[in-house]
Amino acid sequence: MNYNTIDFAYHYKGQRTFLPRSWVLLSSFLIALFIGYFSLSYFDKQDTNVVPLNSDTIISGIQRVTLATLSSQHPVLESFKRLQSTADNKAAGQPVTVQPGDNLSLIFARLHLNSNDLQAIMSLGSKTKPLLNLYPGQELYFYIDKERRLNKLVYQINQLDTLAVSREPTGYQATITRKPTQTRTVFASGIIRNSLFGSALKAGLDSRVILELAEIFAWDIDFALDIQPNDAFNILYEEEWVGDKKLRSGNILAAEFINNGKKFQAVRYVAKDGSADYYTPDGMSMRKAFLRTPVNFRRISSHFNLSRKHPILHRLRAHKGVDYAAARGTPIHAAGNGKITYLGKQRGYGNVIEIQHGEAYTTLYAHMDRFAQRLRKGNRVKQGDIIGYVGSTGLATGPHLHYEFRIAGVHKNPLTVSLPRALPIAAADKSQFIAHADQLIKQLDNYRRTTLVQKELPPTKRKGA
């Protein structure tokens, strides 16, 4: 049963595996998501009512819905009031609100300031460049003396950075000061009612964290098909704060997803070389060594079938792969890390690439319109790399990718073959990882046990119904 109303696209280090179904739904969801994301994060940034969190604050489902409350106080103005009070100027600055269609030279003209000063300021280089991108509603503070000379200009570029331009005996000087940020670890948990997205928003997560959560478990859970009511998640993630304002959500440190009674856990680990990835608490990769589908397709035009009649040759010929119909030119991705062992033309297959993955596995991609530029036989490719583009070279009735998956030379159905996991944690990192994972999983457990989670019970059947 499919209770979930949403689909996800998984973005993993630049590679994209799209779920086959409901393209329209998917794109509209993503558009809505991004619009939602930006508007929510806008409100979030503007919200001075957000309760400051301590590093050990526990947030359960319902407590964190403060996303859409817009404060009546103007936070920028507030911060400028603070800034002013600490400013060493005797004269108070004059606030100027940027109007639609405004720019600095219009503002200078309105304030009857000397345009030579404007030129002097703009010639200070990269530091004053943000003054070229003023947005309506932003505030600038002008400190002007009796002779209408500009002594100082203050502009809060964003939540972190403030630009101050001051007149010095030698001319204007620009300085940008950055507020210190803090990283806080936050716990959130939720129980899924209708959709992961809805429940996660309710738990106070922003879209970025929700997408990351889905991405981490994407290889084990089909978020479009497998999500059931009463599925649950618990996560520890980071948030960046400036003073008492949340700046953004950061990385998920540890996550747990209970899908249909089965528990999946993942822990983030930054290896010694600086690369970060997610692993099970015992150090197995959360990812699979192969993408299930190497192309973003429209439909499957032909399934794996060892006794099929060939559409062009009209005789019995096994179909040892899957045909993914897609628009000509759609990128084709390497299903896994490996080495190109063949790149060229084969009679019926047209332009073909074959990749060897370790000892046992090979994948084959046929009917390509063209290969990726500069790709040669013997090259190493990474999972998700674009190796070529969909076409109809060789014997093909229309543009599609013919994809084969072989284990020890034996053709397997790419749609159903059980895919091996990607490489586990490196041996050199293992002991450190296990200790790190233990600690995070314990933390997750503690928070989960001590947090009052409001159980969403399934609807009770009425007597006689």
The nearer residue to Zn ion, 290 or 403, going by C-beta atoms, is: 403
Binding Zn ion (rule: CB under 5 A), the pick from 333, 402, 411, 436 is: 402
Enter the tokens of residue 97. Answer: 């609100």
User: To the nearest whole angstrom, how small is the minimum distance from the Cβ of residue 396 to Zn ion?
Assistant: 8
Q: Locate tokens 């098909």: which residue?
A: 225
Q: Which span sits near Zn ion by CB under 5 A: 164-172, 175-183, 373-381, 402-410?
A: 402-410
As a whole number of angstroms, the distance between CA 109 and CA 86 comes to 28
User: To the nearest whole angstrom, how small is the minimum distance from the Cβ of residue 333 to Zn ion?
Assistant: 18
Enter the tokens of residue 200. Answer: 């996660």
Least Cα distance to 171 among 144, 151, 154, 155 occurs for 151
Q: Which span sits near Zn ion by CB under 5 A: 171-179, 264-272, 333-341, 394-402?
A: 394-402
User: To the nearest whole angstrom, how small is the minimum distance from the Cβ of residue 374 to Zn ion?
Assistant: 27
The nearer residue to Zn ion, 247 or 366, going by C-beta atoms, is: 366
User: To the nearest whole angstrom, how small is the minimum distance from the Cβ of residue 334 to Zn ion?
Assistant: 19
Q: Locate tokens 């009770």: which residue?
A: 460
Phi then psi dihedrals of residue 105, to 5 deg: -70, -35
Contacts of 13 (CB under 8 A, 6+ apart): 384
The nearer residue to Zn ion, 151 or 392, going by C-beta atoms, is: 392
As a whole number of angstroms, the distance between CA 365 and CA 350 comes to 10
Q: Which span sits near Zn ion by CB under 5 A: 20-28, 196-204, 235-243, 319-327?
A: 319-327
What x-and-dash track marks residues 289-308 binding Zn ion by CB under 5 A? --------------------
In 192-231, which positions are buried (b, 16+ CB within 10 angstroms) versus exposed (e)?
A: beebbbbbbbbbbbbbbbbbbbbbbbbbbbbbbebbebeb
Contacts of 267 (CB under 8 A, 6+ apart): 253, 254, 278, 279, 280, 281, 433, 436, 437, 440, 441
User: To the nearest whole angstrom, how small is the minimum distance from the Cβ of residue 376 to Zn ion?
Assistant: 25
Q: Which span sits near Zn ion by CB under 5 A: 80-88, 223-231, 304-312, 318-326?
A: 318-326
The nearer residue to Zn ion, 368 or 440, going by C-beta atoms, is: 368
Which residue's Cβ has the minimum distance to Zn ion?
A: 402
**Are the CB atoms for 335 and 290 separated by under 8 Å?**
yes
User: To the nearest whole angstrom, how small is the minimum distance from the Cβ of residue 16 to Zn ion?
Assistant: 22
As a whole number of angstroms, the distance between CA 220 and CA 60 comes to 25
Q: Which span sits near Zn ion by CB under 5 A: 18-26, 92-100, 274-282, 395-403?
A: 395-403
The nearer residue to Zn ion, 259 or 363, going by C-beta atoms, is: 363
The nearer residue to Zn ion, 402 or 406, going by C-beta atoms, is: 402
Binding Zn ion (rule: CB under 5 A), the pick from 139, 215, 277, 323 is: 323
**Are the CB atoms for 182 and 240 separated by under 8 Å?**
yes
User: To the nearest whole angstrom, how small is the minimum distance from the Cβ of residue 254 to Zn ion?
Assistant: 42
**Are the CB atoms for 403 and 368 separated by under 8 Å?**
no
User: To the nearest whole angstrom, how small is the minimum distance from the Cβ of residue 347 to Zn ion?
Assistant: 14
The nearer residue to Zn ion, 255 or 325, going by C-beta atoms, is: 325
Q: Which span sits near Zn ion by CB under 5 A: 88-96, 350-358, 400-408, 430-438?
A: 400-408
Residue 231 in the binding site for Zn ion (CB under 5 A): no
The nearer residue to Zn ion, 167 or 367, going by C-beta atoms, is: 367
**Are the CB atoms for 280 and 216 separated by under 8 Å?**
no
Q: Which span sits near Zn ion by CB under 5 A: 151-159, 199-207, 278-286, 317-325?
A: 317-325
Q: Which span sits near Zn ion by CB under 5 A: 70-78, 91-99, 322-330, 417-425?
A: 322-330
The nearer residue to Zn ion, 167 or 400, going by C-beta atoms, is: 400
Least Cα distance to 458 among 256, 192, 195 occurs for 192
The nearer residue to Zn ion, 268 or 400, going by C-beta atoms, is: 400
User: To the nearest whole angstrom, how small is the minimum distance from the Cβ of residue 349 to Zn ion?
Assistant: 9
CA separation (Å) from 154 to 132, 150, 166? Answer: 14, 11, 9
User: To the nearest whole angstrom, how small is the minimum distance from the Cβ of residue 301 to Zn ion?
Assistant: 8
Q: How many residues bind Zn ion (CB under 5 A)?
A: 2
User: To the nearest whole angstrom, how small is the minimum distance from the Cβ of residue 291 to Zn ion?
Assistant: 18
The nearer residue to Zn ion, 280 or 392, going by C-beta atoms, is: 392
The nearer residue to Zn ion, 152 or 400, going by C-beta atoms, is: 400
What residues between 155 and 184 interact with Zn ion by CB under 5 A?
Answer: none
Which residues are near Zn ion by CB under 5 A? 323, 402
